[in-house]
Chains A and B, each alone.
Chain A
Amino acid sequence: DTEVTQTPKHLVMGMTNKKSLKCEQHMGHRAMYWYKQKAKKPPELMFVYSYEKLSINESVPSRFSPECPNSSLLNLHLHALQPEDSALYLCASSPASVDTQYFGPGTRLTVL
């Protein structure tokens, strides 16, 4: 089983809203990732968690706040987003930090 689940599938929010994206895997993977993907572009890495500790933050604005409550869950808290943050947000996991990454279906975010 190589399934990564993400909720919600779609999210529309205003610039003053606070929302969260959720990612879950039950494969026993110890590394989890958040990516942002704009239309017609490749995914861009935002955050890497390895063994529930933040290992990489690719200079992402503070309006994005990741959280890893346990090794199976990864959240992305959103606050005061801008319209240009509208994108497909992808979660991935891998058995270890240097290993094959398996992606979830993504959350389509629209910021009005």
Chain B
Amino acid sequence: AQSVTQPDIHITVSEGASLELRCNYSYGATPYLFWYVQSPGQGLQLLLKYFSGDTLVQGIKGFEAEFKRSQSSFNLRKPSVHWSDAAEYFCAVGARGTDSWGKLQFGAGTQVVVTP
């Protein structure tokens, strides 16, 4: 079974500074990988995904993530944070194979606070 670890529960960053959120996964093969963002009381919005191919993935809102097979990581980055980026960020892993029925394993989430 797959598992996901987001080591940082909470990150505070200054507006305009760079941001990196860590995600490590455990899975027997190459999984599907996702980053979602959730504002308070809202649903989850897809930021980006990795299925195969180029290991550097570009997403919405200026985010990017890099899949590193050797480190079992899929870290999310943004060069310059805006106050509107304050939210909860979830990394998720999906197993390949139709017997998984698309079940996603979510990390515990990282709360991002942006200071002026």
Contacts and interface: CB of A to CB of B under 8 A. Distances in A.
Contacts of A100: 32, 34, 46, 49
Contacts of B46: 2, 100-103
Interface of B: 32, 34, 36, 41-46, 49, 90, 94-98, 100-104, 106-109
Nearest to B103: A45
A24 to B, nearest CB: 14
Nearest to A104: B43
Interface of A: 2, 4, 6, 31, 33, 40-43, 45, 48, 50, 55-56, 88, 90, 92, 94, 96-106, 108
Given A88-B41, A106-B43, A98 B109 contact: no
A55 B108 contact: no
A33 B41 contact: no
Contacts of B101: 31, 48, 50, 55-56, 97-98
